[in-house]
Amino acid sequence: MRPRLYAALDRRRPLTVVVAPAGYGKTTLISSWVERSGMPAVWLSLDPNDSNLETFLGYLLAAIERLHPAINQRLAVGAGHGAAMSYAAVAQALADEVDVLEDAFLLVLDDYHVVTEPTIHRFLKDLLQYPPRALNLVLATRIEPPLPLAILRGRDQLTEVRAFDLRFTTDEIQEYLRHVLDQNLDAKTIGILEDTTEGWIAGLHLAALYLRNHEDIAGATARFRGRSRYTIDYLAVEVLARQAPEIQDFLVRTSILQRLNAALCDAVVGQDSTHGSSQVTLDHLENNNLFLITLDDSKRWYRYHQLFQQLLEHRLRAICSIDEIAALYRRASAWCASQNLVDEAVAYALSAGDIGGAVQIVEANRHAAICGEKWQRLEAWLELIPRREINGYPELLLLEAWILHKRERLLEIPARLDLAEAILDEGGRYAPVELRMRSEIEALRSQQYFLVADATRTCTTARRALQYAPDDYAHVRGAAWFFLALGAYIASGIQPALDILVEATRCEPHEWDEAHTRILIARCFSIGSLPICRR
């Protein structure tokens, strides 16, 4: 029972469309609603052979006449006026005949997506131009029907039930599985199945079939969440196999993407005679309800339903080599990096097995992120990379040291600096950027020496940091000036510290960046709080 959906269908507007991919329970919903409503109903299940206007009209009129025998025989297709005029006339005649009926009825056209003949769509358009009062037309379809939905929507003559509406809620999932499995499942299991299937009824049914054969429901649920041959087999037959070869290829190759748009898909699959425009393909997928979920109002970003994506990834591994798959990930990473989508760029580089590429992306963006105080993003980037890899790259060790500096976990910093310096001392591949990274090491070491009140080494390391750091390393230069002033205060008092800060203000080229902020903080600290640091 789905009362929230029955309430929408009970509005009984001239046209009701139930649009969703395979397995969302369109037919089940409509049939249960028809039975519940008690209204007279005509049900026509369509197949590809019905995609011919004359055949379609023959079945349609015969079905209506069984319900309303008084419908006049003049509704039969006339001759001598040409097909377009005859069928337009039939639409008008049918509308006139139905309009005078006292008892309203439902006309259900199931699997309307198999209809490809434009004249059938034009016939229904003509029929709905001035909808007869007694007719409630219901379409169940996997794709958007090519009818004037916007016009009908504006006239309040349209009821729409879509995939989002058909998704089972938590309570509906619980009730459905209790009925099918004859037992109550715990909230955690329900939550896993809801997250995995995203309320897709066919997925829930397949999950129930899978769980029915297992005593350990919790363990079986976890395994179903990972992979299920039931789901893969169903989607392979009902969805993927029905697509044109070029669409299948597009779906499979873009299955590596956690979210996708046209430009990213073009970068991954290429834009050639085989694939064409990715935007056209995405429009096709959306219009055909191929488990493509819109992520924003502008319909720029999408993702695949995760169970459908599992099928596509399974097919990808079956038809592509490891090197081919890695190449797809590298293209995705390069495009995301060019768009400043650093999290995704790093993740795709790692999926390609390109640790060096991931490090380069982090290194290209970490200084701007530090200056912008985007510490959560920095931590997220670092968490994507395995610990053993972090220990092999001074860039990552220094990023980790700055995060520890921000989090005031100061005792953990020296070990990172020692390891980063040891790698740099080996020389070679880090030569072009070695001094920049050494400026960071020296700035952070100046803090360590200040903490133990070693004025000489605090000042020495801070000055080396300023010598090595380029002008745009504001966070490094700001820290170095800060601790240089503190070191001078420890050694000689307030006035030398203030003199250094005046010099710093004059030397730093960019006003109000992090360096100047540090300098101003140090000046305030020098005047008001520095006696505390003499302890």
- Residue linked to tokens 């488990």: 291
Judged on CB neighbours under 10 Å (0-12, 13-18, 19+), 32 is middle
Q: What is residue 98's predicted lDDT score, i.e. its pLDDT?
A: 84
Is residue 101 domain-resident? yes
Work out the average pLDDT over 125-133: 89
pLDDT in tens, 381-419: 998 898 889 999 999 999 999 999 988 899 999 999 999
Q: Are residues 212 and 121 in the same domain?
A: no
Across-strand partners of 16? 138, 159
Is residue 373 domain-resident? no
pLDDT top residue among 290 and 285: 285
Q: Are residues 94 and 43 in the same domain?
A: yes
Q: Is the dihedral of CA 521, 527, 529, 534 positive or negative?
A: positive
CATH code (residue 25): 3.40.50.300
Q: Are residues 199 and 117 in the same domain?
A: no
pLDDT-derived band at 512 (thresholds 50, 70, 90) equals very low
Is residue 146 domain-resident? yes
Pair type for strands 15-19 and 158-162: parallel
Q: Are residues 50 and 189 in the same domain?
A: no
Q: Are residues 186 and 59 in the same domain?
A: no
Distance from C-alpha of 337 to C-alpha of 350, rounded to nearest angstrom: 13
Q: Are residues 135 and 206 in the same domain?
A: no
Q: Are residues 8 and 141 in the same domain?
A: yes
Q: Are residues 88 and 208 in the same domain?
A: no
pLDDT in tens, 157-168: 999 999 889 989
First to last CA, the chain: 74
Q: Are residues 11 and 61 in the same domain?
A: yes
For the chain, how many structural domains are there in total?
A: 3
Q: Are residues 128 and 181 in the same domain?
A: no
Is residue 289 domain-resident? no
Is residue 354 domain-resident? no
Is residue 440 domain-resident? no
Q: Are residues 162 and 19 in the same domain?
A: yes
Is residue 201 domain-resident? yes
Q: Are residues 84 and 191 in the same domain?
A: no
Is residue 417 domain-resident? no
Range of the domain at 208: 170-226
Helix, strand, or coil here: 392?
A: coil
